[in-house]
Chain A
Amino acid sequence: MIEGKNISKSFGDRLVLEDVSVSMEKGQTNLIIGQSGMGKTVLLKCLVGLLEVDHGQVFYDDREFSKMSFNEMKEIRQEIGMLFQGGALFDSLTVEENVMFPLTMFTKQTPQEKLDRANFCLSRVNLQNVNKLFPSELSGGMKKRVAIARAISMNPRYLFCDEPNSGLDPQTAHLIDELIKEITIEYNMTTVVVTHDMNSVLEIGEKIYFLYQGKLWWEGTKHNILHTDNAELQAFVFTSELTKRLRPVKGVGG
């Protein structure tokens, strides 16, 4: 479980997060949603320690992360897997080397053991025969899947995903969502996903936090997000023609 308590963060005079408290449950996909520029990625970066919080605390299973030094954070960071928006694969390494990279850095496994683990992780994300390719030779969806394979290579306890299906076609986006959901259950991880994609929200949003103007505006689940009375959340949810059609269905069905 990851807890953020009363987190505030500003850049210069601009207050980006104001007194945000979240509690990310273990074994669930926890979503941070909101329009662009509302502080979702900043909150995610505060939770993983890429940004220092101005006020507030971050706890990883009761371990106070926000007070730790870089070296103390290292221990927890080895339990974290992260999927970045663009994949953040290392350009100079092949797919296989990218997936093996955390194992090379932090384990004493033999080359064969590392290779076996890399192959297992790649097959877990449905990728075959790409081991020797470089990131520049992969499509956007493949890059995301390799990034997921790298993220799970160390059996993480916590998984963070920053807009995992941005720039992907609906089918690939659905596959990535499914994958995130499956591995969250399989590894019993605490998964945090930042997204503004309503398909993802309705597919994997077991716990949802809606940010608006840097504040936590609403929290709930995919089951009650469509029934919300919150005006700002309604404006966010029922934007597309597809989601607009869900409203009358809800009205008829009660």
Chain B
Amino acid sequence: MKFLFHFGRYLSLLRLAFQRPEKQSIYFRQIMVEMEKLGLASVGIVAIISVFMGAVLAIQMAFNIDTPLIPSYTIGFVTRQSVELEFAPTIISLILAGKVGSRIASEIGTMRVTEQIDALEIMGINPATFLILPKIVASMIINPFLIMMSMLLAVGGGWLAGIFTGLFPSAEYIYGIQSFFHLYDIFYAIVKTIVFAFIIASVSAYNGYYTKGGALEVGEASTNGVVYSSIAIIFMNLILTQLLLA
């Protein structure tokens, strides 16, 4: 029952958020600002996680494929496939849900408890459109770039792991990452990323928007934003995988 209440309220907030903006030039500028705050500010963490994720994947693969029956270029191939299909779009989105989601929920939640949202409404501005729409649009634009960067860095991380550990030859790894490449896999990853970006921004914004109380409740909204967007990502991951790959 409680789930239905929140889901209904979430949908009606989205309906409010997707109304025509008061002044489009301001919203365009807002989208740029949000792209910087939500996307560019996450480049560092995404880069670090991706390089190490790719390196660990390649090393684990090298240890597990310890037989002459499987060619060593398989390490490169499997690392690329794992990163491309799952690790970059899903794991990085889950990390962004933690970083970006908590930021969105706490920012909007603080604006709610300090009456800044009421101030917007009094001025005749639709606060849902003004605050939420640019965040959703910005995330949906910038996240695919972050995920593509993550893919490249993770594959690169795997290559570096090979060089530093000597577990597999560099040429074999490079041959592996070039083998059996399907452009559709990238399309699949991008579609997932865009859907996850929408979930991160909208679910976190919903949790912040209806915050009541003070600092304690803002913290709670921030946590809930991360938890619920992560659950929604995992659930949608299953559905999208079934729809796009089955």
Q: Which residues of A contact B (CB under 8 A)?
A: 48, 50, 70, 73-78, 80, 82, 84-86, 88-91, 101-102, 104-106, 160
The answer to whether A90 and B115 touch (CB under 8 A), given A50-B122, A78-B123, A105-B22, is no
Q: A104-B26, A105-B23, A105-B26 are in contact. Are A80 and B122 (CB under 8 A)?
A: yes
Q: Is B170 an interface residue (CB 8 A)?
A: no
| Residues of chain A lying within 8 A (CB to CB) of residue B26 | 104-105
Task: Assess the B124–A84 pair: CB atoms within 8 A.
Answer: no
Enumerate 28 A-B pairs (CB-CB under 8 Å) in ascending A order. A50-B121, A50-B122, A73-B124, A74-B124, A75-B124, A76-B124, A77-B123, A77-B124, A78-B123, A78-B124, A82-B122, A84-B119, A86-B114, A86-B115, A88-B115, A88-B116, A90-B116, A91-B110, A91-B111, A104-B23, A104-B26, A105-B22, A105-B123, A105-B125, A106-B22, A106-B23, A106-B124, A160-B122
Known: A73-B124, A74-B124. A82 touches B22 (CB 8 A): no
B119 touches which of A74, A78, A82 (Cβ 8 Å):
A82
Chain B nearest CB, measured from A85 CB (Å): 7
Among residues of A, the one whose C-beta sits closest to the C-beta of B125 is A105
Does A91 lie within 8 Å of B125, measured CB to CB? no
Closest to A79 in B: B124
Is B118 part of the contact surface with A, judged by Cβ < 8 Å? yes
Indicate if the CB atoms of A50 and B118 lie closer than 8 Å.
Answer: yes
Q: How far is the CA of A104 from the CA of B121 in the complex (A)?
A: 15
B126 within 8 A of A: yes
Report the bound CA distance from A48 to B123 in whole Å. 10
Chain B residues near A160 (CB, 8 Å)? 122
CB contacts under 8 Å to A, within B125-159, are 125-126
* B123 & A102 in contact (Cβ 8 Å cutoff): yes
In chain B, residues 105-121, which have Cβ atoms closer than 8 Å to a Cβ of chain A? 110-111, 114-116, 118-119, 121
Query: A residues within 8 A CB of B110?
Result: 91
A91: B residues at CB distance < 8 A = 110-111, 114, 116
Extra 5 A-B pairs, beta carbons < 8 Å, given A78-B123, A91-B111: A75-B124, A82-B122, A86-B115, A88-B115, A106-B22
- A residues in contact with B114, CB < 8 Å: 86, 88, 91
- Shortest Cβ distance from A160 into B: residue: B122
Q: How far is the CA of A50 from the CA of B119 in the complex (A)?
A: 10
CA distance A82 to B125 in the complex (A): 14
Q: Once the chains bind, are A77 and B116 in contact (CB under 8 Å)?
A: no
Decide: B118 and A84 in contact? CB cutoff 8 A.
yes
Q: Chain B: which residue is nearest A98 at the CB level?
A: B119
Kindly report which residue of chain B lies nearest to residue A108, judged by CB atoms: B23
Chain B neighbourhood of A89, CB < 8 A: 116
* Chain B residues within 8 Å of A75, by CB: 124
Complex formed: what's the CA distance from A85 to B114 in Å?
9
